[in-house]
A and B are shown apart, each in its own frame.
Chain A
Amino acid sequence: MSELIPALRGHVLLSGASLAVALLLGIPLGAWIARSPRVREAALGLVGAARVVPSLAVLAIMIPLIGVGFAPALVALVLLAIPPIAINTDLGLRAVPHAILDAAAGIGMSERQIRSRVQWPLALPVVFTGVRTATVEVIASATLAAFIGGGGLGELIVNGLANNDVASLVRGAVGVGVLALAAEACLSLVERRWRGRWGTGAA
C-alpha cells in the first residue's frame, strides 16, 4: 500500500504539468487556427494523421529522441493534449454568432475589447470542454509513462505485471480510473456552474 501515495503523486504531477504546458501552447494555437482557414486545414490534417498513432508508440518514439524518464513522458502527453484544446478553442471562437460581434463593433468596442469582453468569454465554455477531454485523456495515458520510466500509477501496473503481483496491478488500475473519474466529475461541476444561466456555449 505504501507505494500507492508516491505513485499517485507522481501521476498527478505528470498529468498536471503536461496539461499546463498543453494549455499554454494549445490555446494560442487554437486562436491562431480560428483566424485563418488555411492554417486550420493544415492543422486539422495533422491532428487527423496524429490520431491514428497510438500513445504508446508516441512514448516509444520519445526514447531515442530524449531518452527515458519524466521529460519524454511529459512531451508525449503534451502532444496528446494539445489537439482537443486547440480544436475546441478554434471551435469556440468561431461559434460566436456574427451578429453579436457585429453589435459589439457597432456600439463602439475596439477590436481588443470585442475579443476580450465578448468573443473569449463566449468561447470559454467550449474551450473548457476541450480541456476536460484533454485532462481525462492525459490522466489515462499517463499510465503508459511508466513504460518509459516516467513514474506514476502505471508503475504499480508495470511492477504488478513483472512480479505477478495482482494486488499492485489492481491498485494501479483502480487508482487511474478513480483519478480520471474524479477529475472528470470536478471539471463537469465547474463547467455546469460556469455556464450557469446564460446558456450553452455561444448559442
Chain B
Amino acid sequence: MTDARKSGGSTVALRDIVVRYPGSDRNAVDHVDLDVPPGTLVVVLGPSGCGKSTLLRTINRLVPSESGTICVDAQDVRDFPATQLRRGIGYVIQAVGLFPHLTVAQNIAVVPQLLGWDRARIAERVEELLRLIQLDPQRYADRYPRELSGGEAQRVGVARALAARPRLLLMDEPFGAVDAIVRSALQDETVRLQRALGTTILFVTHDVDEALRIADRIVIMSAGRVVQYDTPLHVLGRPASPYVEELLDTKDAVRRLSLLRVRDAMRAKAVDGQSQRISVEATLREALSAMLDGADALEAIEDGRPIGRLAFDDVRRAIVEST
C-alpha cells in the first residue's frame, strides 16, 4: 500500500512571532519562538483564549503575523502565494468544516482537484484514504456529511487534510465535538497515522489528557506566550512554573501514579537486559523519577529476574486511564 510509504514530515521554525488583532489592546500571540523537528506530534495546550488557534493559523497564513518569521522546511511561508502554501499543509478544525453539498469522496478530493490531479489518480487516492481512516469506500464514498456520525465526519476531515500527502498537518481541537470514547479512538488513530506517515503534526487542544496521551512534545501557552515546551515526561515531572503545575494538575497526576505499581502498567515483552532495573512492586511515581533522571525504559524485576518492560508511553497511558 502506498500509504505505508512515508511522505515524511516538515521542520517548522517560528521566530519571534507577534499577532495583534485589530482593535485589541494586547498581543494574541506574544513573541513566540518554536522549533518543531520533522515527524513529531506537538500538542499546543492552554486555556481558552490563550492564542492556540491564532498561533496555528499564522503558520498557514490564515492570520497574518505582525512581526517575526515562519519557516516550513527552511522556506519562509511568505515566499509562496497563500493558496499554494495552504494546499501543501493539511488543516483540520473542530467544527469539521466538511462541505455539506459534497459527498465524502468529493470532500476528500477537493485539494487534489485544486492541485490539478487527474481523475483516476484522485479516485485512487480517495479510496486509499477511506481505507486508511477505516471507512468502507463502498458504503461511505457517496454519502453526504449529514449522513455521518460525528466521529466519522471527523475522520473524513482528517482524510481530506491528508489527501495531497502534506508533510505538515495543523489540527485545531479536531476531536472537541465527539464523545470521550470516540475521542480516544480518534486519538489513537491519529498517533497511528502519524507514525505510519511520518507527518509533522501541530495539534491544538485544551484537554490535558488528550495532550498527555498523544504528544511527543507539549507547548504550554499562557496569554499568547509559550511558558514551557517539553516532552510530556518533563512537563509532568518538572513543570516550569506553578501555572503549568496547575494547568496540568501535575500534583494530582503524580499522586495517582503513586497509587499504581509497575506490575500494572508494564508490558510483558522485549527484555533487553540493558535498561535500568526496577521492582515490579515499585510505584509508577518511582518509575517516573527514574525516567526523569534519564532512563528511557525500565526493566521490571520480580524475584531478581526481568519479566517485563516499562516505558514512558506505559506511564502516560496509566495516568490517562486512571482519571
Q: Mark B148-165, 1 if CB is under 8 A from A, else 0.
A: 000000000000110000
User: A198-B146, A199-B146 are contacts. A108–B111 as well, Cβ < 8 Å?
Assistant: yes
Tally chain B residues at the interface, Cβ within 8 Å: 29
Q: For chain A residues 1-38, which have a beta carbon within 8 Å of chain B? A: none
Q: List 23 A-B contacts (CB under 8 A).
A: A99-B93, A99-B95, A100-B99, A103-B91, A103-B93, A103-B95, A103-B97, A103-B99, A105-B62, A107-B87, A107-B91, A107-B111, A107-B161, A108-B82, A108-B84, A108-B86, A108-B111, A109-B110, A110-B83, A122-B99, A122-B100, A197-B146, A198-B146
A104 at the interface (CB under 8 A from B): yes
Q: Mark A181-203, 1 if CB is under 8 A from B, else 0.
A: 00000000000000001110011
User: A99-B93, A102-B62, A198-B146 are contacts. A107–B160 as well, Cβ < 8 Å?
Assistant: yes
Given contacts A102-B62, A102-B93, A103-B91, 4 further A-B contacts (CB under 8 A): A100-B100, A105-B86, A106-B62, A199-B144
A164 at the interface (CB under 8 A from B): no
B101 at the interface (CB under 8 A from A): yes
A106 contacts which of B86, B88, B114, B145 (Cβ < 8 Å)? B86
A149 at the interface (CB under 8 A from B): no
Q: Which of B82, B101, B111, B146 has the most CB of A within 10 A?
A: B101
Could you tell me if B101 and A122 are in contact, using CB atoms closer than 8 angstroms?
yes
Could you tell me if B83 and A102 are in contact, using CB atoms closer than 8 angstroms?
no
Q: Identify the closest chain A residue to B111 (Cβ).
A: A107
Q: Which residues of A contact B98 (CB under 8 A)?
A: 100, 103
B118: min CB distance to chain A, Å: 19
CA A108 to CA B88, docked complex, whole Å: 8
Q: Which residues of A contact B147 (CB under 8 A)?
A: 197
CA A107 to CA B98, docked complex, whole Å: 11
Could you tell me if B87 and A108 are in contact, using CB atoms closer than 8 angstroms?
yes
CA A55 to CA B96, docked complex, whole Å: 47
Could you tell me if A97 and B111 are in contact, using CB atoms closer than 8 angstroms?
no
CA A118 to CA B98, docked complex, whole Å: 10
B40 at the interface (CB under 8 A from A): no
A121 at the interface (CB under 8 A from B): yes
